[in-house]
A and B are shown apart, each in its own frame.
Chain A
Amino acid sequence: MIKLTVNGKKISFKGAPFKRLIDALREDLALTGTKEGCGEGECGACTVLLDGEPVNSCLIPVCQADGRKIETVESLGVPEKLSKLQAGFLACGGAQCGICTPGMLMTAHAHVRSKGKCDDKSIRTALSGNLCRCTGYQDIVKSVLKAAKGGKK
């Protein structure tokens, strides 16, 4: 049996060990915030955090997440109480069609939380594995900057 900690909750996964993490999250745990874009590790839409680091959940069989911590977009905030990052995206128009947004949020969340440099350049590097087909990159970077600045106050 595979043991996962998903958004702080301990879960026993009884399905096929080679099931993709994204499918286990969406189908077995009903965490449908994580989206599948390309299914081949190019677009980053399916990004979740594995032990705190951004990874493509379409490229990980759930057996490799055994005993590890997973964070999905559902861990950030709820409509009544958005996280700083989500509020930043809302304020700056960081979401357009929305498919890339959960992945963008999770990658940005790890970056802001890492307490390293958080300027325009570092955000662009951190988010370079997340593609936005609406090409809304400027506002996404602005959103993250706003959240990072807000966090220091």
Chain B
Amino acid sequence: MRGDAKSMTVLSPRSAAEAVKAYAKSPAALPFAGGTDVMVGWNMGQLNGRAVLDLSRVAEWKKITVVSDGVDLGSLVTHAQIQAHPVLKKRFPLLTAACATVGAAQIQNRGTIGGNIANASPAGDTFPALAVYEATVRAVGPKGRRGVPLVEIFAGVKKTTLKPGELIEAIFLPFPDKTPTRGAFRKVGTRAAQAISKTVFAGLLWNGKGGVLEEARLAFGSMAPTVRRLHAVERFLRGRRLNDVSITAAAELLTNDVSPIDDIRSTREYRLRVSRNILMAFLKGELK
């Protein structure tokens, strides 16, 4: 059974306020932004008979706003818009790099950052970057607004902690207090373009005084049901010198925070080995 257009009801709010109201009135409606993932299921006939909350006319959520302490990304900002933004390129290069690996131009022109998050795929390519930049997701619903740290918005595979009636209005990226000494993004898929990640990494680190590491923020996607910060590795490295011994010991702690599985895209063993190599290369300064 293919998608049956006649079976669908389309709700078309013209503003953020209308969107929240329409969603409260039709809680079973499916919020719909760029549609790059939803339409795949729809084409297979999985969503026939549903009501769709088409957010494409909510102009307020399509803006990138630079403020004094960070950048506010409207939820409907596309992956292409993010890549083209000069402030994001300069201050949040891991995010712009991640956006460049999502599908190809056709998907980047349509897929939105808010849709990517709401879709909650374990393989979301932007999530490790958003996690190390400590982004906050701002949800809006009938009861008002609230901010949720990016890593806490995900409840599991394709599940979020958004409450009934809540929609994502923006993602806030705080400017780091100090410029990181080093940062890297790396995605490993079957091929360079149009691939879904087997593992995806973002890392930032700050060197402190006396040759020791002040702070590291490390995150992997596709390595657990949700994006994971490597808390154990980060804690271990704080205040240490980075050398072969400490880096090898740190890499041993990888599995404290990730638990990859065998699936259609890869195996647990491959994911762990490649991720360990990526982590070690990053800490050695060899990941370009």
Which A residues lie at the B interface, using CB under 8 A? Answer: 15-20, 23, 39-42, 44, 47, 50, 53-56, 58-61, 63-64, 107, 110, 125-126, 128-131
B105 at the interface (CB under 8 A from A): yes
CB distance from A115 to the nearest CB of B (A): 15
A74 vs B68: C-alpha distance when bound (angstroms): 48
Cβ-defined contact, A63 with B12, below 8 A: yes
Chain B residues closer than 8 Å to A53, beta-carbon distance = 80, 105, 109
Residues on the B chain within 8 Å of A59, using CB: 35-36, 39-40, 110
Give the Cβ gap from A128 to chain B, nearest Cβ, in Å: 3
List of B residues within 8 angstroms of A60 by Cβ: 35, 39, 110
Interface extent on B, as a size class? 20 to 34
Q: Which of B36, B39, B80, B107 contacts A61 (CB 8 A)?
A: B39
Q: Which chain A residue has the least Cβ–Cβ distance from B57?
A: A66
Contact partners of A129 in chain B: CB under 8 A: 103-107, 193-194
Name 30 A/B residue pairs within 8 A (Cβ), A-sorted.
A15-B5, A16-B6, A16-B8, A17-B8, A18-B3, A18-B42, A20-B3, A23-B5, A40-B40, A40-B43, A41-B103, A42-B194, A55-B106, A55-B109, A56-B106, A56-B110, A59-B36, A59-B39, A59-B40, A59-B110, A60-B39, A60-B110, A61-B5, A61-B35, A64-B54, A110-B105, A128-B194, A129-B107, A129-B193, A131-B194
Closest B residue, CB atoms, query A103: B106
Mark contacts of B21-46 with chain A using CB atoms, 8 A cut-off: 1 yes-contact digit, 0 otherwise. 00000000000000110011011000
Known: A41-B36, A42-B194. A20 touches B5 (CB 8 A): yes
In Å, the complex CA distance between A44 and B43 comes to 15
